[in-house]
Amino acid sequence: MYMASSLFLALIISLLLLGAVSFTLFIRRLLINSKVNYSTSDDINKKLDKIIELLEKQSK
């Protein structure tokens, strides 16, 4: 009787730990991907600004 309840308790605790670790890794991946997207967006904006400047110089 005590063996079954101990195993059940260990199973529940291990599932809770697994869920917490999975959630943490998921949030970490989201944060890393958002930083990459932001830097890519920033690079594209700089290139577009450069193109606009060159077009304005060319039209003058």
| pLDDT tens for the 60 residues of the chain, in order | 789 999 999 999 999 999 999 999 999 999 988 877 777 788 888 999 999 999 998 987
- Compute CA distances 16 → 1, 3, 5, 6, whole Å: 23, 20, 16, 15
Q: What is the pLDDT of residue 26?
A: 97
Please tell me the predicted confidence (pLDDT) of residue 53: 94
Q: What was the pLDDT predicted at 37? A: 72
In a domain, 32, yes or no: yes
Query: Residue 47: in which H helix or E strand, if any?
Result: helix 2-59
Residue 9 placed within a domain: no
Asked whether residue 14 is assigned to any structural domain, the reply reads: no
- E-only strand ranges, 1-60: none
Q: What is the pLDDT of residue 10?
A: 97
Residue type, 40: T
Asked whether residue 44 is domain-assigned, the answer is yes
In a domain, 48, yes or no: yes
| This prediction's pTM | 0.60
Position 21 scores a pLDDT of: 98
Q: Indicate the number of domains in the chain.
A: 1
